[in-house]
Copies of this chain bind each other. A is one copy, B any other.
Amino acid sequence: MSNPADTPERRSFYNKIDPDHLTPLWSVLSDLVTKEPGSGCVPYLWHYPIVREYLLEAGELISAKEAERRVLILENPGLRGQSRITSSLYAGLQLVKPGEVAPAHRHTQSALRFVIEGSGAHTAVGGEKTRMEAGDFVITPSWEWHDHGNESDQPMIWLDGLDIPMVQFFDASFAEMLEQDEQPLTRPEGDSMARYGEGLLPVDYTQGTPTSPVFNYPYERTREALEALRQQQQWDICHGLKMRYINPVSGDYAMPTIGTFMQLLPVGFTTESYRSTDATVFVIVEGQGKSVIGDTECEWKPHDIFVVPSWFPVSHIALSDAVLFSYSDRPVQKKLGLWRESRG
C-alpha cells in the first residue's frame, strides 16, 4: 500500500485543483487508511515523586482559584503541545491545598478523578458532596456543576482523566462558570450511593444521561471485592483479576466516553502479552513491578502513571501484590464497532 508516483503532470494538476479545496486521495491514502494503528502516541511513565514535587511547587506559584484548576497536564511525549496523554484522552494531576476551593463550573467534557493521596477533601456534584479518600474513583458527569474543596489539613492530590480531546474532535464543547464558588447542597452525603448503588432503584426511576448516577466508587468497597474474588483464584493470563466499573442503572461503563478498570496482580504474577486498540492510562494504586510495552520497559511503584498506546503489546510483572487502576476510550470504540484486542 504505497501511494502512486507524483509525476510532474500530476503535481501540476494537484496545484491547479488546490485553490478549489480539492486534494487527490491517492497521494495521501496510505497515511489515512493505515494497515495498523500508528498515531504518534508513545509509551511513557511518569514517576510520581517527581510530578508531586512540581505540583507542590505549583501550589506556591498559583492559587486553585486563580488557576480555576491547579493541574499539571501529563502530555504524551509523542503528542506534545496537544494536551493529550493518548490520542483521545487527557490526564493531569490536580492539587488542592487545605482551605482552597476549585470553583464551581460545568462543561460537556466528562471527568474522572482518581485519588492519589490525601484524605477528606471533597467533590460536590448535583447538589451532593462526597468526601474523597485515596483509591476512590469519582465522576463529574458531562454538564453537571462541580466544585472541589479541601477542609482537611493536608494537601490533596488526584488524577484527572478527561475526554477533552474527544469533545474537541467532535467540536461539541460548551462550558460555563457558576456565579458562586461552591454550588448549593441539596442532598445529604451518601444519597446517590443509597439511591442507585445498593441493588435498588427508586420505583419510578428512568435513566436520563448515560453517566452513572453513583459518583463515588469508594476504594474500600472495590478493594474488598477484589480480595473476595481472589479467593477463587481465577487468574486471567493477560489481566490477572480485572474488573470494569459499571453504571448500576444499566450495566454499561460508568461513563459514556471513558472506560475505567481496577485490577489485581498477585505477587510473582507475570501476564502474557496483550494488545488492544484502546490506548490505556495506568495508575499504580498498590505494589511495585514493571510493565513491558512494545520495546519499552517501565518499572513502577505506587502512584506512578504510565501509558500504553493503541495496539502496543503489553505485559506486567508484579513484584509484590499490585493493584492498578486504568482508563481508556474503550466504551466509545465498542459503540463505534472499532475495538479490537489480541491475546498472547
Q: Does A237 reach chain B (CB closer than 8 Å)?
A: no
Q: Does A68 reach chain B (CB closer than 8 Å)?
A: yes
Copies in the assembly, this chain: 4
- Interface bits A82-112 vs B (CB < 8 Å: 1, else 0): 0100111010100000000000000111100
Q: How far is the CA of A54 from the CA of B74 in the complex (A)?
A: 46
- Interface bits A187-231 vs B (CB < 8 Å: 1, else 0): 110110111011111111001011100100100011011101101
CB contact between A175 and one of B34, B174, B202, B339 (< 8 Å): that residue: B34
B35 touches A175 (CB 8 A): yes
CB contact between A248 and one of B61, B169, B211, B248 (< 8 Å): that residue: B248
CB contact between A25 and one of B25, B36, B73 (< 8 Å): that residue: B73
Residue of B nearest to A226 (CB): B194
CB contact between A26 and one of B71, B90, B169 (< 8 Å): that residue: B71
B87 touches A26 (CB 8 A): no
Q: Does A157 reach chain B (CB closer than 8 Å)?
A: no
CB contact between A199 and one of B54, B58, B210, B222 (< 8 Å): that residue: B222
Q: Which of A26, A41, A207 has the most CB of B within 10 A?
A: A26
26 A-B pairs within 8 Å (CB atoms) are namely A4-B62, A21-B46, A21-B75, A22-B75, A23-B72, A26-B62, A26-B66, A26-B69, A29-B68, A33-B107, A37-B171, A37-B173, A38-B171, A86-B171, A87-B169, A142-B338, A170-B310, A170-B329, A170-B333, A171-B310, A195-B229, A199-B245, A246-B248, A247-B251, A250-B251, A251-B251
- Return the 3 tightest CB-CB contacts between A and B, nearest first: A194-B228, A25-B71, A171-B310
Q: Which residues of A contact B (CB under 8 A)?
A: 1, 4, 9-10, 13, 16-17, 20-26, 28-29, 32-39, 41, 44, 46, 50-51, 54, 57-58, 61-62, 66-77, 80, 83, 86-88, 90, 92, 107-110, 142, 163-177, 187-188, 190-191, 193-195, 197-204, 207, 209-211, 214, 217, 221-222, 224-226, 228-229, 231-232, 236, 239, 242-251, 254, 256-257, 261-263, 277, 279, 309-311, 329, 332-333, 335-340
